[in-house]
Chains A and B, each alone.
Chain A
Amino acid sequence: MQFFKYRWETSGLSGEPFLFVRKDAAVGKVRLLDQDIRLKIFEKTCIGHSRKGRHTPCPQSRVVSDERMCRECMLSDDFFMCVKCDGSECINDPQRTNCAKSKYYIYLAAFSNVLKVGISQEYRVLERLIEQGADMGAKIALVQDGKIVREIEQKIRSELGIKDRLRGIEKQKLLFGNPNVAAINIFNAFAKLRKNFGEHLIGPEIYNLQSIYRVNALTEHPKPLGLDYGTSIEGSVIAAKGNILVMKNDEGLHSFDANKLIGFRTELEIVSA
């Protein structure tokens, strides 16, 4: 079987993550929290592409290395050309009409003392904050048109001198976020943006997301675990902070980036529920 998606299913300020798997033509989802799982990782193959709302498996099942899609699937995917969008010239004409009509939130996400700016479709901003594992998040602006919103996002990033992406390994180091620091950073950033971005800003809605992840159940900092061909992991998933899963076994606590599992062919066994 192959993992092709990792996603949180949320309802307001609660939710839990699932891994989506494909075996031949069948597709299913795997619950992770409170499960004892045994996982063996084999080669990584292309996860296929999306076209007109439909997902198509890779026709060649090509082996890939760093990326999730092979070159052919990248070119066939409806949104591949949007991957590097920064709001400058649009290079994905077929998607432009919908993109221009859609509304997007700009949010600030705090990971302990690290702040990042991001955008999300209007209807899934909370899910977006949770799936990233932010300690705190705030919707700060609502903008129509994906191109404009990306442009504003990049200006905010530059104005605040913050990031617009955080790697899994950085998130693993920031697992135990200090909510006070996170909140102060968001307030300070918002205050700074009032001067030059006032026309776009809304009254910020701030969310404390820490309780969702069960991180307070952890007794020590987990050891980060790399995932690659040949890796075997076994244990009970006891916490999940965005894409970082924490597993407990006889050797202690281990954390790994669930997004890194995507594309890998695996043997997965749920030992007990």
Chain B
Amino acid sequence: MFRINYIMLLRGIGYMRIIKKFPESAVLVSKVFNDVIKKSPVHLPYSSIEFHVRDYNTTIVEDDKAVICMDHNSPVILNRDVRGISTAIKFELFRVMLRPGFPREIEDVVVGREMVLQGLGDDLFYFYYTSLMKRPPVSLIDYVRASVPWITFRGVDNYNSSFLKELLAKLQKKKFPEASKVLNYMCNNKFDEAAKEYKKLFTSELL
């Protein structure tokens, strides 16, 4: 059973249309979304934003419309963790503001760093810490995803970065040396090179 809600939000001189589609079990996520979007300082130059809670994460931007999908199996949603849900939504709003245009994990670093610079580092750390403790990496893509937290904080908050890196080392049961090149590029802000390496890595993995 899905609910669909419409909201018109006054933004600057015009209105932004917000469409939310979510299952009954995600009413809390919808409420948190309302709180976040009303207070969000993020500049969102869109005529409409669609927010879905469904079975995967994705964010699509087309012209002046954005679609944000959050996975209802995310640990913060399953645990009804308001701080975590709020951070995840803010993260996606930053993403649609910045529109980095890289593969998702690389975008996550760009977006996360901006959030840290905007003073949301504590929330982001909490979100990453909670997520890492729930989903230890088992595959190559999991490992790249699980490396995003420490890479995000690297250079902007080394204390949290080294904690997240050591935490990952404790969680990780298998090593993935093939990921070192893409992670190095991400660490050094070489996002275009990281994107090329990422495509090579995961296209060849699919083949």
Contact residues of B: prevailing secondary structure: helix
- Do B170 and A81 touch across chains, with their CB atoms under 8 A apart? yes
- Complex: how many Å from CA A83 to CA B133? 9
Specify which of B130, B159, B163, B171 is in contact with A74 (CB 8 Å cutoff): B163
Q: Is the interface of A mostly helix, strand, loop or mixed?
A: loop
- Provide the bound-state CA to CA distance between A81 and B171, in Å: 9
Q: Specify the chain B residue showing the minimal Cβ separation from A83.
A: B133
Residue on A with the closest CB to B173? A93
In the complex, are the beta carbons of B159 and A91 less than 8 A apart?
A: no
- Contact indicator A71/B163 (Cβ below 8 Å): yes
Contact for B163 among A75, A81, A84, A88, CB less than 8 A: A75
Choose among B130, B160, B162, B170 the residue that contacts A84 (Cβ–Cβ < 8 A): B130
Whether B160 pairs with A91 at a CB distance below 8 angstroms is no
Closest to A85 in B: B133
Chain B residues positioned under 8 Å from A83 (CB to CB): 133
- Contact A84–B167 (Cβ < 8 Å): no
A84 touching B166 in the complex, CB below 8 Å, given contacts A71-B159, A71-B160, A91-B171: no
A88 to B136, CA, bound (A): 11
Task: Mark out the residues of chain B between 147 and 167 whose CB falls within 8 Å of any chain A CB in the assembled complex.
Answer: 159-160, 162-163, 166-167
Which of A71, A72, A86, A91 interacts with B170 by CB under 8 Å?
A: A91
Question: A96 to chain B: closest CB distance in Å?
Answer: 12
Interface residues of B (CB under 8 A from A): 130, 133-134, 136, 159-160, 162-163, 166-167, 170-171
Binding site for B on A (CB under 8 A): 71-72, 74-75, 81, 83-84, 86, 88-89, 91
